[in-house]
Protein backbone atom coordinates (compact mmCIF):
# COMPACT_ATOMS: atom_id res chain seq x y z
CA UNK A 1 0.00 0.00 0.00
CA UNK A 2 2.78 2.43 0.92
CA UNK A 3 5.40 2.22 -1.80
CA UNK A 4 7.08 5.49 -0.87
CA UNK A 5 8.05 7.03 2.45
CA UNK A 6 7.32 10.47 1.00
CA UNK A 7 3.87 12.01 1.46
CA UNK A 8 2.82 14.37 -1.31
CA UNK A 9 -0.11 16.78 -1.31
CA UNK A 10 -2.03 17.88 -4.41
CA UNK A 11 -2.12 21.38 -2.91
CA UNK A 12 -0.15 22.96 -0.11
CA UNK A 13 -2.23 22.91 3.11
CA UNK A 14 -2.85 26.12 5.02
CA UNK A 15 -1.31 26.69 8.44
CA UNK A 16 -4.60 26.11 10.26
CA UNK A 17 -4.98 22.79 8.46
CA UNK A 18 -1.59 21.59 9.67
CA UNK A 19 -2.71 22.51 13.20
CA UNK A 20 -5.93 20.55 12.72
CA UNK A 21 -4.03 17.49 11.53
CA UNK A 22 -1.78 17.65 14.59
CA UNK A 23 -4.84 18.00 16.83
CA UNK A 24 -6.54 14.89 15.43
CA UNK A 25 -3.36 12.81 15.26
CA UNK A 26 -2.89 12.88 19.03
CA UNK A 27 -6.49 12.25 20.10
CA UNK A 28 -8.67 9.21 20.53
CA UNK A 29 -11.77 11.37 21.14
CA UNK A 30 -12.10 14.60 19.18
CA UNK A 31 -14.50 17.02 17.52
CA UNK A 32 -13.21 19.03 14.57
CA UNK A 33 -15.71 21.89 14.50
CA UNK A 34 -14.17 24.27 11.96
CA UNK A 35 -16.44 26.65 10.13
CA UNK A 36 -17.57 25.44 6.72
CA UNK A 37 -14.99 25.89 3.99
CA UNK A 38 -11.88 25.48 6.16
CA UNK A 39 -11.16 21.92 5.08
CA UNK A 40 -12.42 19.49 7.71
CA UNK A 41 -12.46 16.73 5.08
CA UNK A 42 -8.87 17.27 3.99
CA UNK A 43 -7.60 17.45 7.57
CA UNK A 44 -9.37 14.22 8.47
CA UNK A 45 -8.14 12.28 5.44
CA UNK A 46 -4.57 13.48 5.87
CA UNK A 47 -4.55 12.48 9.53
CA UNK A 48 -5.91 9.03 8.63
CA UNK A 49 -3.16 8.79 6.05
CA UNK A 50 -0.47 9.62 8.61
CA UNK A 51 -1.88 7.26 11.24
CA UNK A 52 -2.00 4.40 8.75
CA UNK A 53 1.56 5.04 7.67
CA UNK A 54 2.68 5.03 11.29
CA UNK A 55 0.96 1.70 11.89
CA UNK A 56 -1.63 3.07 14.31
CA UNK A 57 -4.63 2.42 12.05
CA UNK A 58 -5.60 -0.70 10.11
CA UNK A 59 -9.40 -0.43 9.94
CA UNK A 60 -11.34 2.83 9.65
CA UNK A 61 -15.09 3.37 9.27
CA UNK A 62 -16.35 6.73 8.04
CA UNK A 63 -20.08 7.44 8.41
CA UNK A 64 -21.65 10.35 6.54
CA UNK A 65 -24.98 11.47 5.04
CA UNK A 66 -25.83 9.46 1.93
CA UNK A 67 -25.44 12.36 -0.55
CA UNK A 68 -21.85 12.90 0.64
CA UNK A 69 -20.54 9.36 0.13
CA UNK A 70 -19.35 10.11 -3.40
CA UNK A 71 -17.72 13.34 -2.27
CA UNK A 72 -15.70 11.50 0.40
CA UNK A 73 -14.54 8.93 -2.15
CA UNK A 74 -13.37 11.73 -4.45
CA UNK A 75 -11.57 13.49 -1.60
CA UNK A 76 -9.76 10.30 -0.60
CA UNK A 77 -8.66 9.88 -4.21
CA UNK A 78 -7.34 13.43 -4.16
CA UNK A 79 -5.66 13.57 -0.75
CA UNK A 80 -4.72 9.90 -0.18
CA UNK A 81 -4.71 8.14 -3.55
CA UNK A 82 -2.76 5.16 -2.20
CA UNK A 83 -5.45 4.23 0.34
CA UNK A 84 -8.04 1.63 -0.80
CA UNK A 85 -11.57 2.88 -0.06
CA UNK A 86 -14.64 0.65 -0.01
CA UNK A 87 -18.20 1.97 -0.08
CA UNK A 88 -20.56 -0.34 1.80
CA UNK A 89 -23.47 -0.92 -0.56
CA UNK A 90 -25.51 -3.64 -2.27
CA UNK A 91 -27.94 -6.21 -0.93
CA UNK A 92 -27.84 -7.65 2.56
CA UNK A 93 -25.51 -10.51 1.63
CA UNK A 94 -23.02 -8.23 -0.08
CA UNK A 95 -23.07 -5.74 2.79
CA UNK A 96 -22.56 -8.58 5.25
CA UNK A 97 -19.41 -9.51 3.34
CA UNK A 98 -18.15 -5.92 3.54
CA UNK A 99 -18.76 -5.76 7.28
CA UNK A 100 -17.01 -9.11 7.95
CA UNK A 101 -13.90 -8.43 5.87
CA UNK A 102 -11.15 -7.58 8.36
CA UNK A 103 -8.68 -6.60 5.65
CA UNK A 104 -10.56 -3.57 4.29
CA UNK A 105 -8.60 -0.52 5.47
CA UNK A 106 -11.29 2.13 4.91
CA UNK A 107 -15.05 1.67 4.73
CA UNK A 108 -17.54 4.44 3.97
CA UNK A 109 -21.22 4.04 4.84
CA UNK A 110 -24.20 6.36 5.26
CA UNK A 111 -26.08 6.83 8.54
CA UNK A 112 -29.25 5.08 7.44
CA UNK A 113 -27.34 2.03 6.28
CA UNK A 114 -25.36 1.75 9.53
CA UNK A 115 -28.60 1.85 11.50
CA UNK A 116 -30.19 -0.76 9.23
CA UNK A 117 -27.12 -3.02 9.40
CA UNK A 118 -26.62 -2.86 13.17
CA UNK A 119 -27.20 -6.61 13.52
CA UNK A 120 -24.93 -7.43 10.56
CA UNK A 121 -22.17 -5.32 12.09
CA UNK A 122 -22.63 -6.98 15.47
CA UNK A 123 -22.45 -10.44 13.85
CA UNK A 124 -19.25 -9.43 12.01
CA UNK A 125 -17.57 -8.73 15.37
CA UNK A 126 -15.05 -6.31 13.87
CA UNK A 127 -13.39 -3.66 16.01
CA UNK A 128 -12.36 -0.48 14.23
CA UNK A 129 -9.23 1.45 15.02
CA UNK A 130 -11.15 4.62 14.13
CA UNK A 131 -14.76 5.61 13.49
CA UNK A 132 -15.33 9.07 11.99
CA UNK A 133 -18.74 10.76 11.85
CA UNK A 134 -19.26 13.50 9.28
CA UNK A 135 -22.15 15.89 10.00
CA UNK A 136 -22.04 14.48 13.52
CA UNK A 137 -25.01 16.59 14.61
CA UNK A 138 -27.00 13.68 13.19
CA UNK A 139 -26.51 11.92 16.55
CA UNK A 140 -27.14 14.92 18.81
CA UNK A 141 -30.21 13.12 20.22
CA UNK A 142 -28.49 10.39 22.19
CA UNK A 143 -31.78 8.57 22.66
CA UNK A 144 -32.41 8.17 18.93
CA UNK A 145 -32.09 4.81 17.19
CA UNK A 146 -29.37 6.19 14.92
CA UNK A 147 -27.28 7.37 17.87
CA UNK A 148 -27.63 4.04 19.65
CA UNK A 149 -26.58 2.14 16.51
CA UNK A 150 -23.54 4.35 16.00
CA UNK A 151 -22.47 4.20 19.65
CA UNK A 152 -22.67 0.40 19.65
CA UNK A 153 -19.85 0.10 17.09
CA UNK A 154 -16.67 -1.34 18.64
CA UNK A 155 -13.82 1.13 18.17
CA UNK A 156 -10.64 2.51 19.72
CA UNK A 157 -10.78 6.09 18.37
CA UNK A 158 -13.84 8.29 17.82
CA UNK A 159 -13.82 11.51 15.82
CA UNK A 160 -16.76 13.79 15.03
CA UNK A 161 -16.84 16.42 12.27
CA UNK A 162 -19.42 19.18 12.50
CA UNK A 163 -19.53 22.92 12.06
CA UNK A 164 -22.47 23.05 14.48
CA UNK A 165 -21.73 20.96 17.59
CA UNK A 166 -24.42 22.99 19.38
CA UNK A 167 -27.50 23.77 17.30
CA UNK A 168 -30.20 24.25 19.92
CA UNK A 169 -28.82 23.55 23.40
CA UNK A 170 -25.89 22.04 25.26
CA UNK A 171 -27.72 18.71 25.08
CA UNK A 172 -26.59 18.54 21.44
CA UNK A 173 -22.97 18.49 22.59
CA UNK A 174 -23.75 15.92 25.28
CA UNK A 175 -25.27 13.72 22.57
CA UNK A 176 -22.17 13.89 20.37
CA UNK A 177 -19.92 13.16 23.35
CA UNK A 178 -21.96 10.05 24.06
CA UNK A 179 -20.29 8.73 20.90
CA UNK A 180 -16.86 10.13 21.75
CA UNK A 181 -16.73 9.03 25.37
CA UNK A 182 -19.93 7.68 26.89
CA UNK A 183 -20.83 9.31 30.20
CA UNK A 184 -18.10 11.96 29.99
CA UNK A 185 -20.71 14.74 29.80
CA UNK A 186 -24.21 14.93 31.22
CA UNK A 187 -27.16 17.30 30.91
CA UNK A 188 -26.83 18.52 34.48
CA UNK A 189 -23.43 20.14 33.93
CA UNK A 190 -23.19 23.93 34.02
CA UNK A 191 -21.87 25.96 31.10
CA UNK A 192 -18.57 26.48 32.94
CA UNK A 193 -18.24 22.77 33.67
CA UNK A 194 -18.95 21.88 30.05
CA UNK A 195 -16.43 24.40 28.75
CA UNK A 196 -13.73 23.03 31.03
CA UNK A 197 -14.55 19.40 30.21
CA UNK A 198 -14.52 19.75 26.41
CA UNK A 199 -11.59 22.14 26.10
CA UNK A 200 -9.05 19.49 25.11
CA UNK A 201 -11.40 17.59 22.81
CA UNK A 202 -12.78 20.28 20.48
CA UNK A 203 -10.99 22.38 17.89
CA UNK A 204 -12.98 25.13 16.18
CA UNK A 205 -11.61 27.86 13.92
CA UNK A 206 -13.69 30.46 12.09
CA UNK A 207 -12.83 32.05 8.77
CA UNK A 208 -12.22 35.38 10.49
CA UNK A 209 -9.67 33.78 12.82
CA UNK A 210 -7.60 32.28 10.00
CA UNK A 211 -8.22 35.10 7.54
CA UNK A 212 -4.56 35.74 6.82
CA UNK A 213 -4.18 32.13 5.59
CA UNK A 214 -7.13 32.12 3.21
CA UNK A 215 -7.34 33.15 -0.45
CA UNK A 216 -10.10 35.63 -1.44
CA UNK A 217 -12.15 32.80 -2.95
CA UNK A 218 -12.51 29.23 -1.72
CA UNK A 219 -14.16 26.87 -4.21
CA UNK A 220 -15.93 23.68 -3.13
CA UNK A 221 -17.41 21.26 -5.65
CA UNK A 222 -19.95 19.04 -3.90
CA UNK A 223 -20.59 15.93 -5.98
CA UNK A 224 -23.93 14.57 -4.80
CA UNK A 225 -25.67 11.27 -5.49
CA UNK A 226 -29.29 11.53 -6.59
CA UNK A 227 -31.73 9.90 -4.21
CA UNK A 228 -33.57 6.79 -5.42
CA UNK A 229 -36.63 8.66 -6.72
CA UNK A 230 -34.55 11.17 -8.60
CA UNK A 231 -32.27 8.50 -10.07
CA UNK A 232 -35.23 6.51 -11.39
CA UNK A 233 -36.88 9.59 -12.92
CA UNK A 234 -33.58 10.79 -14.36
CA UNK A 235 -32.68 7.49 -16.01
CA UNK A 236 -36.14 7.14 -17.54
CA UNK A 237 -36.00 10.69 -18.93
CA UNK A 238 -32.47 10.31 -20.29
CA UNK A 239 -33.19 6.95 -21.90
CA UNK A 240 -36.39 8.19 -23.56
CA UNK A 241 -34.71 11.43 -24.61
CA UNK A 242 -31.71 9.74 -26.21
CA UNK A 243 -34.01 7.37 -28.13
CA UNK A 244 -35.91 10.38 -29.47
CA UNK A 245 -32.68 12.15 -30.45
CA UNK A 246 -31.35 9.06 -32.21
CA UNK A 247 -34.59 8.74 -34.17
CA UNK A 248 -34.06 12.26 -35.52
CA UNK A 249 -30.90 11.06 -37.23
CA UNK A 250 -29.16 13.67 -39.37
CA UNK A 251 -31.94 16.19 -38.78
CA UNK A 252 -30.93 16.63 -35.14
CA UNK A 253 -30.08 20.19 -34.07
CA UNK A 254 -28.52 21.82 -31.03
CA UNK A 255 -32.03 22.91 -30.04
CA UNK A 256 -33.07 19.27 -29.69
CA UNK A 257 -30.11 18.49 -27.42
CA UNK A 258 -30.71 21.71 -25.53
CA UNK A 259 -34.27 20.70 -24.59
CA UNK A 260 -33.17 17.32 -23.24
CA UNK A 261 -30.30 18.85 -21.25
CA UNK A 262 -32.63 21.37 -19.60
CA UNK A 263 -35.08 18.62 -18.70
CA UNK A 264 -32.34 16.50 -17.10
CA UNK A 265 -30.84 19.44 -15.22
CA UNK A 266 -34.22 20.28 -13.71
CA UNK A 267 -34.62 16.68 -12.52
CA UNK A 268 -31.18 16.96 -10.89
CA UNK A 269 -32.59 19.86 -8.86
CA UNK A 270 -35.97 18.36 -7.90
CA UNK A 271 -37.78 15.17 -8.84
CA UNK A 272 -40.89 16.44 -10.69
CA UNK A 273 -42.96 13.49 -9.39
CA UNK A 274 -42.04 13.50 -5.70
CA UNK A 275 -40.34 16.86 -5.14
CA UNK A 276 -37.38 15.08 -3.55
CA UNK A 277 -33.96 16.70 -3.91
CA UNK A 278 -30.52 15.47 -2.82
CA UNK A 279 -29.22 19.00 -3.39
CA UNK A 280 -31.81 20.52 -1.07
CA UNK A 281 -30.93 18.06 1.71
CA UNK A 282 -27.26 19.00 1.35
CA UNK A 283 -28.08 22.70 1.22
CA UNK A 284 -30.09 22.45 4.44
CA UNK A 285 -27.08 21.00 6.27
CA UNK A 286 -24.70 23.65 4.91
CA UNK A 287 -27.07 26.51 5.68
CA UNK A 288 -27.36 25.19 9.21
CA UNK A 289 -23.66 25.93 9.64
CA UNK A 290 -23.98 29.34 7.99
CA UNK A 291 -26.84 30.37 10.28
CA UNK A 292 -25.15 28.98 13.40
CA UNK A 293 -22.08 31.12 12.68
CA UNK A 294 -24.20 34.24 12.20
CA UNK A 295 -23.24 34.62 8.53
CA UNK A 296 -25.25 35.22 5.37
CA UNK A 297 -25.42 33.26 2.11
CA UNK A 298 -26.60 33.72 -1.46
CA UNK A 299 -28.04 30.72 -3.31
CA UNK A 300 -28.14 30.97 -7.12
CA UNK A 301 -30.27 29.06 -9.61
CA UNK A 302 -31.15 29.66 -13.23
CA UNK A 303 -34.83 28.82 -12.67
CA UNK A 304 -37.38 30.80 -10.69
CA UNK A 305 -39.37 27.62 -10.02
CA UNK A 306 -36.28 26.04 -8.44
CA UNK A 307 -35.83 29.12 -6.25
CA UNK A 308 -39.43 28.84 -5.08
CA UNK A 309 -38.99 25.14 -4.29
CA UNK A 310 -35.84 25.86 -2.31
CA UNK A 311 -37.68 28.55 -0.35
CA UNK A 312 -40.45 26.08 0.50
CA UNK A 313 -37.86 23.59 1.72
CA UNK A 314 -35.89 25.89 4.06
CA UNK A 315 -38.50 27.80 6.08
CA UNK A 316 -36.24 27.90 9.16
CA UNK A 317 -33.70 29.93 7.18
CA UNK A 318 -36.31 32.64 6.61
CA UNK A 319 -35.09 33.20 3.02
CA UNK A 320 -35.70 36.15 0.74
CA UNK A 321 -36.16 35.85 -3.01
CA UNK A 322 -34.67 38.08 -5.71
CA UNK A 323 -35.48 37.22 -9.32
CA UNK A 324 -37.26 38.41 -12.45
CA UNK A 325 -40.74 37.94 -11.03
CA UNK A 326 -40.01 40.33 -8.17
CA UNK A 327 -41.21 43.79 -9.31
CA UNK A 328 -38.37 46.26 -9.84
CA UNK A 329 -39.98 48.62 -7.34
CA UNK A 330 -39.57 46.03 -4.58
CA UNK A 331 -36.05 44.79 -5.30
CA UNK A 332 -34.14 47.47 -3.38
CA UNK A 333 -36.28 46.77 -0.33
CA UNK A 334 -35.46 43.06 -0.57
CA UNK A 335 -31.71 43.79 -0.59
CA UNK A 336 -32.02 46.26 2.27
CA UNK A 337 -33.96 43.71 4.32
CA UNK A 338 -31.34 41.05 3.60
CA UNK A 339 -28.45 43.25 4.66
CA UNK A 340 -29.98 44.88 7.72
CA UNK A 341 -32.09 42.11 9.27
CA UNK A 342 -29.92 39.69 11.30
CA UNK A 343 -32.64 37.05 11.04
CA UNK A 344 -32.48 37.01 7.24
CA UNK A 345 -29.55 34.69 6.54
CA UNK A 346 -30.32 33.53 2.99
CA UNK A 347 -31.01 35.28 -0.30
CA UNK A 348 -32.28 33.09 -3.17
CA UNK A 349 -31.31 34.72 -6.42
CA UNK A 350 -31.54 33.99 -10.13
CA UNK A 351 -28.42 34.34 -12.23
CA UNK A 352 -30.04 36.90 -14.49
CA UNK A 353 -30.92 39.39 -11.76
CA UNK A 354 -27.79 38.66 -9.75
CA UNK A 355 -25.24 39.25 -12.46
CA UNK A 356 -25.51 42.99 -12.87
CA UNK A 357 -24.91 46.00 -10.66
CA UNK A 358 -25.33 44.54 -7.17
CA UNK A 359 -22.99 44.79 -4.21
CA UNK A 360 -23.49 42.06 -1.62
CA UNK A 361 -19.94 41.86 -0.29
CA UNK A 362 -21.14 41.32 3.27
CA UNK A 363 -21.97 37.70 2.28
CA UNK A 364 -19.36 35.07 3.06
CA UNK A 365 -21.02 32.10 1.34
CA UNK A 366 -22.28 31.52 -2.19
CA UNK A 367 -24.07 28.35 -3.31
CA UNK A 368 -24.57 27.51 -6.98
CA UNK A 369 -27.57 25.17 -6.80
CA UNK A 370 -27.16 24.59 -10.53
CA UNK A 371 -24.47 25.83 -12.88
CA UNK A 372 -25.01 28.45 -15.54
CA UNK A 373 -23.85 27.55 -19.02
CA UNK A 374 -21.71 30.64 -19.45
CA UNK A 375 -18.80 30.76 -16.97
CA UNK A 376 -18.64 34.54 -17.34
CA UNK A 377 -22.21 34.89 -16.00
CA UNK A 378 -21.39 32.52 -13.16
CA UNK A 379 -18.34 34.62 -12.29
CA UNK A 380 -20.43 37.78 -12.30
CA UNK A 381 -22.84 36.17 -9.87
CA UNK A 382 -20.02 35.13 -7.54
CA UNK A 383 -18.65 38.65 -7.69
CA UNK A 384 -21.83 39.97 -6.06
CA UNK A 385 -20.30 38.72 -2.80
CA UNK A 386 -16.62 38.85 -3.68
CA UNK A 387 -15.37 42.31 -4.59
CA UNK A 388 -12.16 44.22 -4.14
CA UNK A 389 -12.15 45.55 -0.61
CA UNK A 390 -14.30 42.72 0.77
CA UNK A 391 -13.58 41.83 4.37
CA UNK A 392 -12.94 38.10 4.58
CA UNK A 393 -12.87 35.33 2.04
CA UNK A 394 -15.91 33.98 0.21
CA UNK A 395 -16.66 30.25 0.01
CA UNK A 396 -18.29 29.22 -3.27
CA UNK A 397 -19.99 25.82 -3.35
CA UNK A 398 -21.00 24.26 -6.66
CA UNK A 399 -23.62 21.52 -6.30
CA UNK A 400 -23.18 18.85 -8.98
CA UNK A 401 -25.20 15.64 -9.35
CA UNK A 402 -23.03 12.56 -9.76
CA UNK A 403 -23.26 10.42 -12.91
CA UNK A 404 -25.58 12.86 -14.65
CA UNK A 405 -25.50 15.42 -17.41
CA UNK A 406 -24.35 17.94 -14.78
CA UNK A 407 -21.14 16.06 -14.09
CA UNK A 408 -20.43 15.58 -17.79
CA UNK A 409 -20.99 19.26 -18.54
CA UNK A 410 -18.93 20.34 -15.55
CA UNK A 411 -16.00 18.37 -16.91
CA UNK A 412 -16.33 20.13 -20.25
CA UNK A 413 -16.62 23.55 -18.59
CA UNK A 414 -13.54 22.93 -16.50
CA UNK A 415 -11.59 21.93 -19.60
CA UNK A 416 -12.81 24.94 -21.57
CA UNK A 417 -13.06 27.57 -18.85
CA UNK A 418 -11.65 30.21 -21.17
CA UNK A 419 -14.69 30.06 -23.44
CA UNK A 420 -17.34 32.62 -22.56
CA UNK A 421 -19.89 31.21 -24.95
CA UNK A 422 -20.74 27.60 -24.17
CA UNK A 423 -23.79 25.44 -24.75
CA UNK A 424 -27.11 27.19 -24.27
CA UNK A 425 -25.67 30.54 -23.22
CA UNK A 426 -29.12 32.08 -23.82
CA UNK A 427 -32.13 30.15 -22.58
CA UNK A 428 -34.35 31.76 -25.19
CA UNK A 429 -31.99 31.34 -28.15
CA UNK A 430 -29.41 28.54 -27.85
CA UNK A 431 -25.97 29.60 -28.98
CA UNK A 432 -24.47 27.93 -32.03
CA UNK A 433 -20.99 28.95 -30.96
CA UNK A 434 -19.00 27.98 -27.88
CA UNK A 435 -18.51 24.23 -27.70
CA UNK A 436 -17.92 22.31 -30.88
CA UNK A 437 -20.56 20.12 -32.50
CA UNK A 438 -18.67 17.05 -31.30
CA UNK A 439 -18.65 18.28 -27.70
CA UNK A 440 -22.33 19.19 -27.71
CA UNK A 441 -23.55 15.93 -29.23
CA UNK A 442 -20.92 14.09 -27.17
CA UNK A 443 -22.97 14.75 -24.06
CA UNK A 444 -25.01 11.73 -25.20
CA UNK A 445 -24.10 8.68 -27.25
CA UNK A 446 -26.11 9.64 -30.33
CA UNK A 447 -26.11 7.41 -33.40
CA UNK A 448 -27.70 7.37 -36.85
CA UNK A 449 -27.50 4.37 -39.16
CA UNK A 450 -25.00 2.71 -36.83
CA UNK A 451 -22.65 5.70 -36.97
CA UNK A 452 -22.04 8.08 -34.06
CA UNK A 453 -23.31 11.54 -34.88
CA UNK A 454 -20.10 13.03 -33.45
CA UNK A 455 -18.27 11.24 -36.27
CA UNK A 456 -20.41 12.85 -38.97
CA UNK A 457 -18.88 15.92 -40.57
Q: Is residue 1 part of a domain?
A: no
Same domain for 258 and 195?
A: no
The tens digit of pLDDT for each residue in 376-406 reads: 667 777 776 655 445 567 889 999 999 999 9
Same domain for 279 and 244?
A: yes
Same domain for 180 and 264?
A: no
How far apart are the C-alpha atoms of 325 and 397, rounded to whole Å? Answer: 25
Same domain for 133 and 225?
A: no
pLDDT score recorded for residue 390:
54
How far apart are the C-alpha atoms of 94 and 76, rounded to whole Å? Answer: 23
pLDDT score recorded for residue 212:
74
How far apart are the C-alpha atoms of 158 and 237, rounded to whole Å? Answer: 43
Q: Is residue 349 part of a domain?
A: yes
How far apart are the C-alpha atoms of 98 and 6, rounded to whole Å? Answer: 30
Of all residues in the chain, what percent carry a pLDDT higher than 90?
50
> Among 209, 231, 264, where does a domain finish?
209
> Among 209, 229, 246, where does a domain finish?
209
Q: Is residue 364 part of a domain?
A: yes
Same domain for 372 and 314?
A: yes
pLDDT score recorded for residue 368:
94
Same domain for 417 and 345?
A: yes
Same domain for 373 and 425?
A: yes
pLDDT score recorded for residue 66:
86
Q: What is the CATH number of the domain that holds 100?
A: 3.40.50.10810
Q: What is the CATH number of the domain that holds 290?
A: 3.40.50.300
How far apart are the C-alpha atoms of 456 and 437, rounded to whole Å? Answer: 10
Q: What is the mean pLDDT of the chain?
A: 84
Count the domains in the chain. 2
Same domain for 166 and 232?
A: no
Same domain for 347 and 437?
A: yes
Q: Is residue 312 part of a domain?
A: yes
pLDDT score recorded for residue 419:
41
Query: For residue 422, how far is the Cα from the chain centroid?
Result: 25
Q: Tell me whether strands 447-448 and 451-452 are parallel, antiparallel or unpaired.
A: antiparallel
Confidence bin at 361 (pLDDT 50/70/90): low
Same domain for 225 and 92?
A: no
Range of the domain at 443: 217-448
**Contact assessment for residue 318 and residue 343, using Cβ atoms and an 8 Å cutoff:** yes
Q: Is residue 156 part of a domain?
A: yes
The tens digit of pLDDT for each residue in 417-452 reads: 544 333 333 433 333 333 455 666 667 665 444 455
Q: Is residue 46 part of a domain?
A: yes
19 beta partners:
none
The tens digit of pLDDT for each residue in 208-241 reads: 787 676 667 788 889 999 988 999 999 999 999 8
The average pLDDT across 252-273 equals: 89
Same domain for 280 and 337?
A: yes
128 beta partners:
155
**Contact assessment for residue 224 and residue 68, using Cβ atoms and an 8 Å cutoff:** yes
Confidence bin at 19 (pLDDT 50/70/90): very high
How far apart are the C-alpha atoms of 325 and 327, rounded to whole Å? Answer: 6
> Among 187, 209, 231, where does a domain finish?
209
Amino acid sequence: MFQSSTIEFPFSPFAHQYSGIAFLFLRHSAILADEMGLGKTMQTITTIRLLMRSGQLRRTLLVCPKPLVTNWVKEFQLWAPELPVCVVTGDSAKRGFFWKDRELPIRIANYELVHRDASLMADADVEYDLVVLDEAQRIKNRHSATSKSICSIARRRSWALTGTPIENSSDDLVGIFEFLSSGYLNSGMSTRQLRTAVRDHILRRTKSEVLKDLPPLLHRDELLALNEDQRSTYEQAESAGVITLNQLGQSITIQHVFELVLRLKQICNFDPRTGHSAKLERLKADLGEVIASGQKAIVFSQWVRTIEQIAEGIPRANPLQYHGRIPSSRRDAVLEEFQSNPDRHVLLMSYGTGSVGLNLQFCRYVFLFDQWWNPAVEDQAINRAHRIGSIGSVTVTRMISENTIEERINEVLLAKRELFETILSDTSQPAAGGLSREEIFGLFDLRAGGQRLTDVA
